[in-house]
Structure 1
Amino acid sequence: MEYGKALRFHRVKQGLTQNQLADGIISAAYLSKIENDQTVPAIEVLELLYERLGIDFNESNFNHPSKEKLREWYEAIVFKQKDVARRLRDELHQQKNTLDNHQLYIFYELFRIRYLLLENEVEKAYETWEDLKQHKDTFDEEMEFYFHLISGLVKYYKGDFNDAFQELMEAKNYSFTVEIEKWETSDLYYLLALSTSQANHISASNYYADHALEIYQSHYDLSKSADCHIVLGINFSRLKNYAKSLENYHLARKIALQTNDFQQLKLVYINIGVLESRLDNHQAAITNYKKSLEYSGDSDSSPNSFELLNSIHGLITEHYKLGDWDGCKQWVSKGKACLDEHPSKTHQLHFEFYDKLLNDTPDIQDFLEHEVIPYFQERKNHTYIIRYSMFLADQLETQRMYKKSSTYLRLAIQLLNKHSHLGGILL
C-alpha cells in the first residue's frame, strides 16, 4: 500500500497542514518525504500519524470488499440502470469504510460524479469534480484513468467539447496500463465518438463510433448500439451523406421500438427533423419534430426538457420558413409557456427573437447585437452565431448601414467556411 498518498489524502481531507500533522511526531520535512513516497517510515511512526488523523492503521491496510460493490455501482451508472444505481449508492453511503478509506473514497467520488450526471445534477457534479482535484496527486494509474474519463464527461456536459476530447484521450492512454472491462472500452470509445462529433471532428467520431458499435454488437447490447447509430446518423448528415444518415437513424429507430426506449426514439425523430430541414423539406421536418414530442413523456429531467424545447424551436423555424405566421406564433406561445416550468436561457432567446420578429418590434436589431449574438459567441455555438449574424446583416443592409452589415456578414461567412457541417442533436 502507498502509505504516503493515503496520509496526504486524509490530511488534506481534514484540512490539516503538514506542520499540524507532524507536530511532536516527526519533522514536517520528513512527513513531506513520506507523503511523496521518497522514504519508508517505521510502522510506529505511521501508527502515530494515523492515530492523530483518527484513522485505524490496520483498517486502512485492509482490502475492502466494497471495491467490488463500487464497480457494480459504476456499471449500473454506465448502463443507465437508475433504480439499481440509486440502491447501490445508498448502500455504499451507509458503509463507513467507503468514505474513510483513501482508495475507496476516491473511487466513490469519481463514480458519484458520473452518477450525478446521470441524474442531471450537472452543477453538483462539477462542484464534486472541483473538490476532488485537490487529491489528484494521491491518484494511482487506475484512478487517473477514471479521473480523465470523468473529467471528459464533465467538460462535455459543460459544452467544452474539445477539452472533453483531450481528457478522454488521456483516459485512453491510461487504459493501456490498467485493467478495464470490455464494456468499459466500448464506453470510452462511445464517449470519444460523442465529444469528437460535437467538436466537429467527424472522421474521428465515425472511427470511434464504429469501434464502439462493433463491441456493443458482439455483446448483443441493443440499446448502446442504437446510441452509436444516432451518432453516426448525425455525422453522415453533417457530411451531407443523407442516405447513409437516414439508414443509421432508421436502424436506431428499429432498435428503440424493440426496446421501448422513448429517449432514443425522441432523439431519432428530432435529428430526422434536422436532416429534413437541411434538405428544405419543411413539412417533413414538422412531422418529425411533432413525432418527437409524442415521446417526450415525463419532461422533468434536464435533457428531456431541453429536447422538448429543441423540438418546439424546430417547429417555430419550420413554420416561419413556410410563411405560416399563425403556426409560428402558436409554437412561440407554447415555447414561452414551457419556459415557466423548464427555464433555458438559450431557448428564451430563440423564442424572444421570433416573438419580436413576428410582431415587428423595433428593438430587434439591438436585441441581436447586444444579447443574442454575444450569448452564443460566449458559448461557441457557431450554428446560432451564423444564423443570427446573417439575419442581422440583412436587416442592417436594408437600412444602408453597410459597414456594420459587412462586419456581421464576414463573421457568418468565416464560421460557415470553418464549420460547414454543423447540425444534429446528441445525448
Structure 2
Amino acid sequence: MEYGKVLRFHRVKQGLTQNQLADGIISPAYLSKIENDQTVPAFEVLELLYERLGLDFHDSSNSHPSKEKLKEWYESIVFKDKEKARTLMNELLEQKDTHENHHLYIFFELFRIRHLLLENDVEKAYEVWEDIRQHRDTFDEEMEFYYHVVSGLLSYYKGNFDQSFQSLMEAKNHSSSNTVQLFNWEFSDLYYLLALSTSQANHTSASVFYVDQALEIYQSRYDLEKSADCHILQGINYSKLKNYAKSLENYYSAKKIATQTHNRNQLNLIYINIGNLESLLGNHYNAIKNYINSINFNDLDTPYKQNYLLTTIHSLMLEHFRLGDYKGCLEWVLRGENELKNYYSEPHKHHFYFYKLMINGDESLLNHLEEVLIPYFEVKKEHIYIIRYSMVLADLLEKKRMYKKSSEYLRLAMKLLNKHSHLGGTFL
C-alpha cells in the first residue's frame, strides 16, 4: 500500500500543513520524504500520523466491497442507465468509506464526473474535475486511466475535440499497464469515445479504425444499442470520406437494429443522417422525406428533441429553398419559430429570420447579412454558416454590381472551405 500518497491526500483534504501533521511525531522534512515515497517509516510512526488524520491504519481498499459497487455504478453510467446510476450513487454516499478512504474517494469523484455529464451538468462536472486534480500526485495507474477518460469527455463536451483525443489516448496508454484491470466493456467504451473524438476532430480514418474496434466488442456482447451507435458514427465517417455507398450501408444496418429494439432516438438520428447524405448527393426530395421521418420519431421528451428538432427544421427549410419551393420553406420557418418558444436557440432564430428576409425579398437583407448574421457566426466560429452566408452575400453584391465587396466575401468563403475541407458540399 502507498502510505505516503494516502497521508498526503488526507492532509491536503483536511487543510493541514506538513508542520501541523508532523508536530510532535516526526520532523516536517521526514514527513515530506514519507509523502513522496522516498522512505518507509516504522509502523508506529504511520499509526500516529494516521491517528492524527482520523484514519484506520489497517484499512485496505483494493479488495474492498465498496470498490465492486463503485465499478457497478460506473458501468450503469457508461451504459446510460440513469435510474440505476442514481440509486447506486445514493447508496455509495451513505457509506462512510466512500468519504474517508483515499482509494475509494478518488474513484467515487472520478466516476461522479462522468455521472454529472450523463445528467448534463457539465459545469458541475468541471468543478469536480478541478477539485480532484489537486490530488493527482496521489493517483495510481488505475486512477490515471479514469482521470484521462473523464478529462477527454470534458474536453469533448466543451468542443475541444483534439484535446479530447489526446486525453483519451493517454487513457489508452494507461490501460495497457499490468496494474490496471479493465472489463471488456470498458475497452469498447474507450474505443467508442476515441472514435467520437477523432470523428469530430476530422481524423476520419482514425475514427473508422476505432469504431471497428468498439463494434467488434459490442457485437460479441450482443449489445444491439451500442452496435447501432457504432454504425451511425461509421456512416458519418464514410460520408466524410465520400464513400457514400458504405455510408448508406452503415445507416441501414443501424436502422435495422433500431427498428428491432424500438429505439426512437436512434431512428430519429439515423433519418437525419440519411437526409444529410441525400442532400449532399443533390437528392432534395429524398432528403425532405428522411428529415420528415426523423421528426416523426422525435416525439419523446429527451435531449434528442431539443438537440435535433430545430436543426432538422432548418434542414427542411434549406431543401425546400433549393427546390424553389418558397411556400414550403416559409411553412417550415413558421414551424421553427413556433418551436423556438419551447426550445429557444439564438443561432436558429437567426437562421429562420434570414429565410423570411430572403423569401420576401426584403431590402434589409444585404445589410443584415453583413452587419448581423456573418459577424454573429464569426464570433461563434461556426465556419459552415460563415461560408454559406458569405456566398449568399457575395451573390447579392454581384447582382448590385458591387464587385469588389462581392469578391471579398467570396474569398472569405473559399478561404474557409480550403481550410476546413470537410465542410464542402452544396450551399445556397
TM normalised by structure 2 equals 0.90
Q: CA deviation at 1:345?
A: 3.4
Paired residues of 2:397 and 2:403 also in contact (CA < 8 A): yes
User: What are the residue-to-residue correspondences of 1:119-138 with 2, within 5 Å?
Assistant: 119-138=119-138
Give 2:278's aligned residue: 276
- d(CA) in 2 for partners of 1:356, 1:91: 56
Taking the TM superposition and a 5 Å limit, the aligned residue runs for 1:75-154 are 75-154=75-154
Q: CA deviation at 1:370?
A: 5.5
Identity %: 66
Which whole-Å CA distance do the structure 1 matches of 2:289 and 2:188 have between them? 34
Change (3 A) 1:405 1:110: farther
Q: Provide the aligned C-alpha RMSD in A.
A: 2.5
Q: Distance in 2 between matches of 1:92 and 1:278?
A: 50
Stretch moving more, 273-282 or 409-418? 409-418
The letter for the 2-side match of 1:211 is: Q
Q: 93-102 vs 351-360, which deviates more?
A: 351-360
Q: Which amino acid aligns with 2:283?
A: N
Residues 61 and 104 in structure 2, CA contact (< 8 A), matched pair in contact too: no
* Deviations, residues 75-111 of structure 1 (Å, cap 9, x unaligned): 1111222222222122112112112211111111111
Cα–Cα, structure 1 residues 398 and 68, in superposed 2: closer, same or farther, change >3 Å?
A: same
Match of 1:21 in 2: 21
Residue 382 of structure 1 corresponds to 383
Give distance in 2, aligned partners of 1:101 and 1:86.
Answer: 21
Q: Is the 8 A contact 2:109 2:132 kept in 1?
A: yes
Equivalent pair of 2:25/2:49 in contact (CA under 8 Å):
yes
Distance 1:337 1:67, change over 3 A: same
**Based on CA coordinates, which of the two structures has the bigger radius of gyration?**
2
Question: What CA distance in whole angstroms lies between the structure 2 residues aligned with 1:423 and 1:263?
Answer: 27
Which residue in 2 is equivalent to 1:322? 323
| Contact 1:159 1:379 survives alignment (8 Å) | no
Distance 1:305 1:61, change over 3 A: closer
Instruction: Indicate the residue corresponding to 1:418 in structure 2.
Output: 419
Shift of 1:333: 2.7
Runs of 4+, deviation exceeding 6 Å: none
Give 3-state SS (helix, strand or coil) of 2:340's partner: helix
Kept after mapping to 2: 8 A contact 1:383/1:422: yes
1:307 aligned to 2:308? Answer: yes
Moved more, 19-28 or 326-335: 19-28
**Distance of 1:391 and 1:138 partners within structure 2:** 56
User: What TM-score comes out, normalization by structure 1 length?
Assistant: 0.90
Aligned twin of 2:166: 166
Which runs of 5 or more structure 1 residues have no equivalent in the other structure? Answer: none
Shift in Å at residue 403 of structure 1? 4.3
* Residue in structure 1 matched with residue 335 of structure 2 by the alignment: 334
Q: By how many angstroms is 1:367 displaced?
A: 4.8
CA 1:170 to 1:349, structure 2 compared with 1: closer, same or farther past 3 Å?
farther
Q: Residues 140, 363 of structure 1: CA spacing in aligned structure 2 closer, same or farther, 3 A cutoff?
A: farther
Q: Deviation of residue 278 (structure 1)?
A: 0.9
Residues 51-95 of structure 1: CA distance to partner in whole angstroms, max 9, x if unpaired?
A: 333333334667421100111111111122222222212211211
| Amino acid aligned to 1:79 | F
Q: Distance in 2 between matches of 1:170 and 1:10?
A: 27
> Where do 5+ consecutive residues of structure 2 fail to align?
none
Question: Higher mean Cα deviation, 38-47 or 235-244?
Answer: 38-47
Partners of 2:417 and 2:424 within 8 A in 1: no
What is the alpha-carbon distance in structure 1 between the residues aligned to residue 366 and residue 25 of structure 2? 70
Q: Which amino acid aligns with 2:326?
A: W
One-letter amino acid matched to 2:310: L
Amino acid at match of 2:309: L
What residue number does 1:3 align with? Answer: 3
Counterpart contact for 2:168–2:190, Cα < 8 Å:
yes
Contact 1:106–1:143, Cα closer than 8 Å, also in 2: yes
Deviations 1:198-252 (A, max 9, x none): 1111111111111211222222221111111111111111122222111110000
- Amino acid of the structure 1 residue aligned with 2:57: F
Residue among 187, 195, 198 paired with 1:196: 198
Assess if the C-alpha contact under 8 Å between 2:272 and 2:312 holds in 1: yes
Structure 2: distance between partners of 1:62 and 1:238 = 45
